[in-house]
Amino acid sequence: MIRTSVRLTSYVVLIAAVFLLFLQIFSPAPAVKFVLVILLGTLVVSYVWARQLSRGVLLERQRRYGWAQVGDVIQERFTMHNDGWVPVLWAEVRDHSDLPGYNASRAVGLGIRSSIRWTTTGTCQRRGIYTLGPVRITMGDPFGLFEVALVHGYTESFVVYPPVVAVPELIDPRGRVSGAARANARSIQMTTNASSVRAYAPGDALKRIHWRSTARRSMEDREQLFVKEFDLEPSGDVWLVLDMDARVHAGHDLESTEEYAVILAASLANQALRANHAVGMVTYQQDPVIIQPQKGPQQLWELLRLLAGAHATASVSMRELLSLFEPIMGRGMSAALITPSSNPEWVKGVSDLLRRGIHPTGVLLDAQSFGGSDGNLRGIMGSLADLGISSHVINKSYRFDYVTQKRQQLPEFKVLGTGRVVVIKPRDERQTQWVPLGRPEGEQA
């Protein structure tokens, strides 16, 4: 959608023209008439010029990549056409995208019935879901009497995924691959072996509801639904439990426990999926968020998209988070508990996981090193050790080793003085762009 407006920049000229008109009517004089004609002619020419600009100028915007990861390059190509009979002496193209570190604004000029093309490049500095656009083009006539504004209101979402880094083996998924025999372990996926029922939990598919059990037990609990549980051999599936409680996180921007927690969750997911484990995630934003365990590269991008927009805005503690999602975690699975909380209350929820045959690992973020006032994590580590659970502490001084690969050299574009665009190759290796590994095979960036 394009909105066009033409406005007079100053009313001084119009007031002067009206004054001279009255002066010529009541006291005619050749000099007054000459100035009045020049002034009115200038106003007419300027207005016609402005109207031509408002009808003849068009802007096209194209993006080279549909998404990116932190550290990737975003590249856009703008093409401006002038189909009018007057030149664009100056035009300010102002982009209102909210992507940090990216500025596509530019000042250009354009001849009669011609086009100009330019390319903007920026580096994606922070993960998130951003908006590209809208674009406002401001132009004017040669005398500066009228201002023409073209607003291209089209906007588009642009996802910047969190980076994937090399991390040590912080979790040890247990179990074997799935088998055909019945077993005591429970499966999140539907199989041919249904063993029992349990109470409905947020995230359960409606097709898993067992209506007979629900109807039979309706006399005891009329509002409770029951879902089927399926048997599966322990498969070594991994659950990532991400604590997004705003009260326990510390730091700002990239140097924060929130950012470190998201990077760790993305990297652990990538590590487990590459080892052929199914990975799922539970967290809490405004509402409970569950991604069921699945295998394959596609699951990684599902998790990364969730993590791209994950922020510490919840008011649900780690203890409440474990209590909420503990019923849906099957036996024989592993869980990575990512949290900066030093409140010993959440360790009680870990005991419930152990009773269900779930093998947790603590990935603890030291909030004090980020400037937080939360207590020391030694007590949490001791409590977990008493339960036979390993834990790892990550502080602010930990430096991530980004997993990268070289992207094929991209052509650059050069605009000649005539307005023609030619393609040139990068001059040296320093112009090569680098991006994180892990994209699905065969998927175009």
Which residues neighbour 28 within 8 Å (Cβ) at sequence distance 6 or greater?
none
Six token digits for residue 198: 């349990």
State the burial class of residue 172 (Cβ atoms within 10 Å of its Cβ: 0-12, 13-18, 19+): exposed
CB-CB neighbours of 188 under 10 Å: 24
Q: Between the CA of residue 100 and those of 196, 228, 237, 310, 431, what are the distances in Å?
A: 50, 46, 36, 17, 22
Q: Are 260 and 397 in contact (CB under 8 A)?
A: no
pLDDT per residue rounded down to tens, the chain (445 residues)? 789 999 999 899 889 999 999 998 988 899 999 999 999 999 999 999 999 999 999 999 988 877 888 988 899 999 999 999 999 999 999 999 999 989 999 999 999 999 999 999 999 989 999 999 999 999 999 999 999 999 998 888 899 999 999 888 888 776 544 433 344 444 455 544 456 788 888 777 777 888 778 777 655 556 678 888 765 544 578 999 999 999 999 999 889 999 999 999 999 999 999 988 999 999 998 889 999 999 998 999 999 999 999 999 999 999 999 988 888 887 778 899 999 999 899 998 898 888 888 889 999 999 999 988 766 788 899 999 999 999 999 999 888 888 754 343 444 544 444 444 444 544 443 333 333 333 433 344 3
The pLDDT assigned to 237 comes to 87
CB-CB neighbours of 373 under 10 Å: 7
CATH no. for 1-162 = 2.60.40.10
The pLDDT assigned to 208 comes to 81
Give me the residue spans of the domains in the chain: 1-162, 165-179+235-402, 190-231
The pLDDT assigned to 90 comes to 94
CATH no. for 165-179+235-402 = 3.40.50.410
Question: Per residue in 112-141, is it b (16+ CB within 10 Å) or e — as a string?
Answer: eeebbbbbbebebeebbebebbbbbbebbb
The pLDDT assigned to 415 comes to 47
Q: Are 353 and 380 in contact (CB under 8 A)?
A: no
State the burial class of residue 108 (Cβ atoms within 10 Å of its Cβ: 0-12, 13-18, 19+): middle
The pLDDT assigned to 219 comes to 56
The pLDDT assigned to 220 comes to 57
Q: Please choose, from the candidates 80, 149, 142, 76, the residue with its C-alpha nearest in 3D space to the C-alpha of residue 114.
A: 80
Same fold flag, 1-162 and 165-179+235-402? no
Q: Are 317 and 341 in contact (CB under 8 A)?
A: yes
CA angle 147, 134, 59 (to 5 degrees): 65
The pLDDT assigned to 174 comes to 61
